Amino acid sequence: MRSTGFTIFILLLIAAASVILAGVLSLRLSVAGTLGDCFEGACGYTTVFVAWPGFTLIFFAAGSYLYLKSGPKR
């Protein structure tokens, strides 16, 4: 069980890193947008594509933790 908890912890770290990366990309793209390098709102799509796997991992890890915490159903 201990290795499972460690795996969930690693998944949460990866998820947090991707969400932080999305925030940094969003900030950089919004700055680029003010300079005219970003057009037609394409910056938001990049942020969504980077952040979505992170949020998916967060929900997966949280669900796995709650499932394991509740114990096996027999």
pLDDT in tens, 12-61: 777 777 777 777 766 665 555 554 455 555 555 555 566 666 677 777 77
Output the pLDDT for position 35.
Answer: 47
Three-state SS at 29:
helix
Q: Which of 59, 71, 74, 48 is nearest to 8 (CA)?
A: 59
> Alpha-carbon distance 2 to 54, whole Å?
23
Mean pLDDT of 3-8: 76
Output the pLDDT for position 21.
Answer: 74
The model's pTM: 0.43
